[in-house]
Amino acid sequence: MAKMTKESNLQVTFSKRRSGLFKKASELCTLCGVEIAIVVFSPGKKVYSFGHPCVESIIDRFLTRNPLPNSSALQLFEAHRSANVRDLNLQLTQVLNQLEIEKKRGEALTQMRKASQAQCWWAASIEELSFERLELLKVSLENLKKNVALQVDKLMIEASNPPTFFPSNSVGAVVPYDSQVAGFGPRSYDFGYGGGRLF
């Protein structure tokens, strides 16, 4: 294990480790009823502290090696204060646990979003696509254009040539009459006065 060289990583790691250290100290106070003091100087020379019942009294007791005076009023005050601190430590622990759960949920959502973007890459903006994906998108759009053109041609043909329906051969069925098939054009006969006349 060695000291980190990158300043940004150093600050992030310090913040995470400090929170973890204070959390463990809080749990130790709550579970065992101990008095504890932690003083930490950050890489940026800021001071962070955690203490139960308070940092100053613990440091004074450590430096002078003198226990607190034994008076019933002071003991009652310390007991009440310790109970409050235990409650606050318990709330802090619950909040930190909830924060950790939310962080993990956020990381999971970020991973799901990244996986979804990887699967549906064509939904991303053009600027975000790589050259290979742009080539693939171009080929896909050209194929789509061809398919649409084929469908349009097919629909135009069907619209210009409506289907002819022939009834089945049954009694009284009428077969459609086509003058071109019968050999008669539109000007084959002149039905003027004097009867029909072929041209």
Domain ranges of the chain: 13-67, 70-119, 126-159
Q: What is the pTM of this model?
A: 0.36
pLDDT score for 70: 56
pLDDT score for 162: 65
pLDDT score for 193: 46
Q: What is the largest CA-CA distance in the chain?
A: 147
pLDDT score for 137: 82
Architecture category of domain 13-67 in CATH: 3-Layer(aba) Sandwich (3.40)
Instruction: Decide if 197 contacts 190 (C-beta within 8 A).
Output: yes
Instruction: Decide if 50 contacts 25 (C-beta within 8 A).
Output: yes
Query: Is the bond preceding residue 162 a cis peptide, omega within 30 degrees?
Result: no
Closest Cα to residue 3, out of 43, 48, 49, 47? 43
pLDDT score for 86: 82
According to DSSP, residue 123 is labeled: G
Question: 80 Cβ partners below 8 Å, 6+ apart?
Answer: none
Alpha carbons 165 and 97: distance in angstroms, whole number: 77
pLDDT score for 197: 45
Instruction: Decide if 30 contacts 89 (C-beta within 8 A).
Output: yes
pLDDT score for 57: 80
Question: 62 Cβ partners below 8 Å, 6+ apart?
Answer: 37
pLDDT score for 149: 92
Flag residues of the chain having pLDDT under 70.
66-74, 76-77, 117-119, 121-124, 162-199
Alpha carbons 199 and 197: distance in angstroms, whole number: 7
